[in-house]
Chain A
Amino acid sequence: MTSAETGAVAVPSADAPLLALEEVAKSYGNVRALHGVSLTVEPGSVTCVLGDNGAGKSTLIKIVSGLHRHDGGRYRIDGREVRLGSPREALDAGIATVYQDLAVVPLMPVWRNFFLGSEPHTGRGPFRRLDVRAMRAATRDALRRMGIDLRDVDQPIGTLSGGERQCVAIARAVHFGARVLVLDEPTAALGVKQSGTVLKYVAAARDEGLGVILITHNPHHAYLVGGRFVLLQRGAMAGSYAADEIGLDELTRQMAGGSELDELRHELRHDPRGEAQSS
Chain B
Amino acid sequence: MTAAATEAAVRRRPGHALFARPELGSVVGAVAVLVFFAVVADSFLRPAGLSTVVYAASTIGIMAVPVALLMIGGEFDLSTGVMVTTSALVSSMVSYQLTANVWVGVGVSLLATLGVGLFNGWMLTRTGLPSFIITLGTFLMLTGLNLGATKLISGTVSTPSIADMEGYGSAGALFASQLTFGDDVRLRVTVLWWLGLTALATWVLLRTRAGNWIFAVGGDAEAARAVGVPVARTKIGLYLGVALCAWILGQHLLFTYGVVQSGEGVGNELIYIAAAVIGGCLLTGGYGSAVGAAVGALIFGMTSKGIVYAQWDPNWFTFFLGAMLLLATLLNAWIRRRSEATA
Q: Identify the A interface with B (CB < 8 A).
A: 65, 67, 86-88, 91, 97, 99, 102-108, 112, 115-119, 121, 128-130, 132, 147-152, 154-156, 158-164, 167, 193, 197
Contact A87/B343 with A106-B220, A115-B212, A129-B208 known, Cβ cut-off 8 Å: no
Which residues of the other chain, A, contact B212 by a CB distance below 8 angstroms? 108, 112, 115-116, 119, 130
Identity of the chain B residue whose Cβ is nearest the Cβ of A91 in the assembled complex: B228
Q: How far is the CB of B246 from chain A (nearest CB, A)?
A: 24
Which residues of the other chain, B, contact A148 by a CB distance below 8 angstroms? 2, 4-5, 8
**Complex: how many Å from CA A108 to CA B215?**
7
> Interface residues of A: mostly helix, strand, loop or mixed?
loop
Which residues of the other chain, A, contact B17 by a CB distance below 8 angstroms? 154
Please tell me if the beta carbons of A117 and B227 are within 8 angstroms of each other in the complex: yes
How big is chain B's contact interface, by range?
35 or more
**Complex: how many Å from CA A87 to CA B225?**
7
Q: How far is the CB of A191 from chain B (nearest CB, A)?
A: 11
Q: Which 9 A-B pairs have the closest CB atoms?
A: A117-B228, A105-B219, A149-B5, A161-B343, A117-B227, A102-B223, A88-B228, A129-B207, A119-B209
B12 interface hit (Cβ, 8 Å): yes
Please tell me if the beta carbons of A147 and B2 are within 8 angstroms of each other in the complex: yes
Please tell me if the beta carbons of B9 and A159 are within 8 angstroms of each other in the complex: no
Which residues of the other chain, B, contact A102 by a CB distance below 8 angstroms? 220, 222-223, 226
**Complex: how many Å from CA A80 to CA B240?**
40
Q: How far is the CB of B84 from chain A (nearest CB, A)?
A: 27
B341 interface hit (Cβ, 8 Å): yes
Please tell me if the beta carbons of A118 and B215 are within 8 angstroms of each other in the complex: no
Which residues of the other chain, A, contact B8 by a CB distance below 8 angstroms? 148-152, 155, 160, 164
Please tell me if the beta carbons of B216 and A97 are within 8 angstroms of each other in the complex: no
Identity of the chain B residue whose Cβ is nearest the Cβ of A148 in the assembled complex: B4
**Complex: how many Å from CA A115 to CA B226?**
13
Please tell me if the beta carbons of B216 and A116 are within 8 angstroms of each other in the complex: yes
Contact A97/B226 with A106-B342, A107-B340 known, Cβ cut-off 8 Å: yes
**Complex: how many Å from CA A271 to CA B104?**
92
**Complex: how many Å from CA A156 to CA B335?**
12
Please tell me if the beta carbons of A152 and B12 are within 8 angstroms of each other in the complex: yes
**Complex: how many Å from CA A229 to CA B302?**
67
Contact of B223 among A88, A103, A155 (CB under 8 A): A103
Contact A156/B1 with A87-B226, A91-B228, A103-B223 known, Cβ cut-off 8 Å: no
Q: How far is the CB of B334 from chain A (nearest CB, A)?
A: 15
Which residues of the other chain, A, contact B228 by a CB distance below 8 angstroms? 86-88, 91, 117-118
Q: How far is the CB of A134 from chain B (nearest CB, A)?
A: 13
B224 interface hit (Cβ, 8 Å): yes
Q: Which of B9-41 contact A (CB under 8 A)?
A: 9, 11-12, 16-17, 20
Q: How far is the CB of B59 from chain A (nearest CB, A)?
A: 27
Contact of A99 among B5, B219, B223 (CB under 8 A): B223
**Complex: how many Å from CA A102 to CA B216?**
11
Q: How far is the CB of A180 from chain B (nearest CB, A)?
A: 15
Q: Show 25 residue pairs from A and B whose CB-CB distance is below 8 angstroms, ordered by the A residue.
A: A91-B228, A103-B223, A105-B219, A107-B336, A115-B212, A116-B212, A116-B227, A117-B227, A118-B227, A128-B208, A130-B212, A147-B4, A149-B1, A149-B4, A149-B8, A156-B20, A158-B340, A159-B341, A159-B342, A159-B343, A160-B343, A161-B342, A161-B343, A162-B342, A164-B8
B286 interface hit (Cβ, 8 Å): yes
Which residues of the other chain, B, contact A149 by a CB distance below 8 angstroms? 1-2, 4-5, 8
B287 interface hit (Cβ, 8 Å): yes
Which residues of the other chain, A, contact B342 by a CB distance below 8 angstroms? 106, 158-159, 161-162
Contact of A117 among B207, B219, B224, B287 (CB under 8 A): B224
Contact A105/B220 with A91-B228, A116-B229, A156-B339 known, Cβ cut-off 8 Å: yes
Please tell me if the beta carbons of B226 and A65 are within 8 angstroms of each other in the complex: yes
Please tell me if the beta carbons of A105 and B225 are within 8 angstroms of each other in the complex: no
Q: How far is the CB of A106 from chain B (nearest CB, A)?
A: 6
Which residues of the other chain, B, contact A156 by a CB distance below 8 angstroms? 20, 339-340
Contact of B219 among A86, A107, A162 (CB under 8 A): A107
Please tell me if the beta carbons of B2 and A87 are within 8 angstroms of each other in the complex: no
